[in-house]
Amino acid sequence: MLELLEGRMLDVMKHMRRANVDYGKSVAINVGIPLEEAVRLLEELERLGMLERTTGSAVKSTEAKYKLSEVRKHHTYYRLTREGDHFLRELERDKVTTVLKLLRGEERAVKLLRIAERVNVDHALTYAKLSGLSLEETIEELERLVRVGLMEEDESKVIKFGERRAKPKRETRTHHKYYRLSRLGELVTRKMRKEENKAKSDNRE
């Protein structure tokens, strides 16, 4: 479910909330993405339970806010489900808590976020060694975490002494992709740690 945090996925959901009912070509135009991408995202959001297909043979202008009059259906129309609307509201009210909920069951993602909190910035091979994942799995998961905004690539040409906490080195010129937590990732891992410490404290009592 972390995929729900991807920028284009959220853009489509927010557009659907504004439009109420809409179809692929209109979504593509209004969100500014290719038609094939819009159709793929609509189908994926339906699979995740965030959207549902509308029934009936016509769409009224009171339903589809981007339509000026009632039209016969010639396309597949979608609307937000209650779950989709609830998710957007939760995300806007408390993004960090909502992200933590999405991370439940995401063992690989959580493992790499914890490592990132510890090492600060490093390349995929270090993450792979520390996580026990294969390099291929590690790169795939790191790139996924970048796409959903929990990690980011460090674009510095030089990694300064002390920044690589896993293995402090003198100033290093970057020859690989280096990854670190994004601001959202920092907030999420911080809250994760606080909740775990509180749970441990409660258990001791």
Q: How high is the pLDDT of residue 148?
A: 96
CATH fold of 2-93 reads Arc Repressor Mutant, subunit A (1.10.10)
d(Cα 95, Cα 132) in Å, to the nearest integer?
30
Per-residue pLDDT of the chain (205 residues; tens, 9 = 90+): 899 999 999 999 999 999 889 989 999 999 999 999 999 999 999 999 999 998 755 555 545 455 444 444 556 889 999 999 999 999 999 999 999 999 999 999 999 999 999 999 999 999 999 999 999 999 999 999 999 999 999 876 555 545 555 555 555 554 578 999 999 999 999 999 998 888 777 776 6
Q: Which of 162, 166, 154, 158 is nearest to 117 (CA)?
A: 166
d(Cα 101, Cα 109) in Å, to the nearest integer?
13
Q: How is the chain split into domains, by residue range?
A: 2-93, 97-204
Q: Give how far the C-alpha of residue 56 lies from the chain's centroid of Cα atoms, to the nearest Å.
A: 33
What is the signed CA dihedral for 193, 194, 199, 204, rounded to 10 degrees?
Answer: 100
Length of the chain: 205
Q: How high is the pLDDT of residue 154?
A: 82
Q: Which of 19, 14, 24, 79 is nearest to 53 (CA)?
A: 79
How does strand 172-173 pair with strand 158-159? antiparallel
| Whether CATH 1.10.10.10 fits 97-204 | yes
Q: How high is the pLDDT of residue 54?
A: 87
